[in-house]
Amino acid sequence: MSAAQKDYKKVTVKTLSDMKAHGEKISMLTAYDYTMATIVDGAGIDVILVGDSASNVMAGYQTTLPITLDQMIYHASSVVRGVSRALIVVDLPFGSYQSDPKEALRSAIRIMKESGAHSIKVEGGKEIKESIKRILNAGIPVMGHLGLTPQSIYKFGTFTVRAKEEEEAKKLKQDALMLEKAGCFAIVLEKIPAKLAKEVAESVSIPVIGIGAGNGVDGQVLVLHDMIGMTKEFHPRFLRRYLNLYEDMTKALSQYVTDVKAVDFPNEDEQY
């Protein structure tokens, strides 16, 4: 029996707050389509992120920048139809919220209305403070994202660990406090030193969810396709593969080709 089968209670932003208060870790994974969302939700995952990482794993782009708001709404609406328990968070894609707070609010409203998702996620700190406040004032829950922010990859120039230097670490701590004060319900910390992530998690009352940020935070998030081994070339230190689906699927598909060529499929039991 899965965790979800034991507890069908809907996960909300309050649920996550209660989990942090009680010391219960939060599980979070990505999903981009109905079928995967159904499986992820059924396994008992607490939070499903419809990430702009769909740009990478679903569309084959090198960065998250190309994916559009319309495409994010398409993926989010597909996920929503497959989920009954998990909290659904949707990334606001690059270019949909950075220019001004009004645009940010319009983008967030479109996601909520057109997909049926429960909340949105944005990357950045004080530089997008007004956009965050505008979205929150409209009653839309916001999750923050600090550390390695993939939408800013060309500014960084590398996917290396962030906030190793004192100045950047200090800014990250300040931004985390700002996100909490603004009203964000949670923060994702990506690829920063574990010690710093633990300090941030202990300094704020809202849940802090890490990806490559150690185990001193309030929960963990991974890209689904990475953790089940569907991606072949991605091997960061923080990733644990729970399956090797790339290899297993390749074997299955090769066997299908063999069976078709040999007229072994379909057999008599597989015909009408």
* 53 assigned binding-site residue: yes
* 119 assigned binding-site residue: no
Which one-letter amino acid corresponds to residue 14?
K
- Token pair 């074997």: residue: 251
* 175 assigned binding-site residue: no
> Is 190 an active-site residue?
yes
* 102 assigned binding-site residue: no
CB proximity list for 244: less than 8 A, separation 6 or greater? 229
Separation CA 72–CA 83 (nearest Å):
17
CB proximity list for 26: less than 8 A, separation 6 or greater? 16, 19, 20, 46, 47, 207, 209, 218, 219, 220
Note the Cα 5 to chain centre separation in Å. Answer: 23
* 115 assigned binding-site residue: no
**Could you give the dihedral angle defined by the CA atoms of residues 145, 147, 152 and 155, in that order, rounded to the nearest 10 degrees?**
160
Separation CA 40–CA 136 (nearest Å):
28
Q: How many CA atoms lie within 13 Å of 73's alpha carbon, on the beta-carbon side?
A: 14
Separation CA 96–CA 122 (nearest Å):
10
Residue 208 phi/psi, 5-degree rounding, is: -115, 120
Separation CA 207–CA 171 (nearest Å):
19
3-state secondary structure 162-221: CCCCHHHHHHHHHHHHHHHHHCCCEEEEECCCHHHHHHHHHHCCCCEEEECCCCCCCEEE
* Residue of 103, 127, 180, 190 with catalytic role: 190
Annotation: binding site for Mg(2+):
52, 91, 123
Pick out the residues of the known binding site. 52-53, 91, 121, 123
Residue numbers belonging to the annotated binding site for 3-methyl-2-oxobutanoate = 52-53, 91, 121
Catalytic residues: 190
